[in-house]
Amino acid sequence: MSAWNDKVIAEFRDNGGKVGGNFAGAPLLLLHTTGAKSGEARVNPMMYQAVDGGWAVFASYAGLDVNPAWFHNLKAHPDVAIEAGTEGEVETIDVHAKVLTPDEREPVWEEQKRRYPGFAEYEQKTDRVIPVVLLTRR
């Protein structure tokens, strides 16, 4: 997965936040986290949904029954940065991560499934509730 992520990250940065392949046409950002256990810097490309001036990201992990490592990293260290494509340039933005409550999560999650039905498929594969995290500017 690391080599695949590295390729997506390089393409994102080289093309002002745009990539092809699985993410072609999808809203994408690069999430920078600090390892909850290791303390090491991490970068993960992921789809997002614009929500109230922030960015909602989804800990779907393609429907696996565990949360992705980046989710645990955000819970341990919620003040992070993202890279976002803005007018053909990549901008680094300092953000704060908040896991949405069930009531906050529901409309965001339903909209994500409507826009990208693959997220509904992820939900059907797992017994866990897929967390939604809102990233807002610090």
CATH number belonging to the domain at 2-137, selected among 3.40.50.1820, 3.40.50.300, 3.10.20.30, 2.30.110.10: 2.30.110.10
**Nearest of 39, 44, 110, 50 to residue 71 by alpha carbon:** 44
**Nearest of 42, 24, 20 to residue 33 by alpha carbon:** 42
* Chain mean pLDDT for the chain: 96
CA distance 57 to 69: 14
Q: Give the pLDDT mean for 1-26.
A: 92
Strand (E) or helix (H) holding 32: strand 28-34
pLDDT band, very low/low/confident/very high, at 1 (cuts 50, 70, 90) = low
> How confident is the model at residue 86, as a pLDDT?
87
Vertex 32: Cα angle to 3 and 92 (nearest 5): 110
pLDDT in tens, 62-102: 999 999 999 999 999 999 999 999 888 999 999 999 999 99
> How confident is the model at residue 2, as a pLDDT?
86
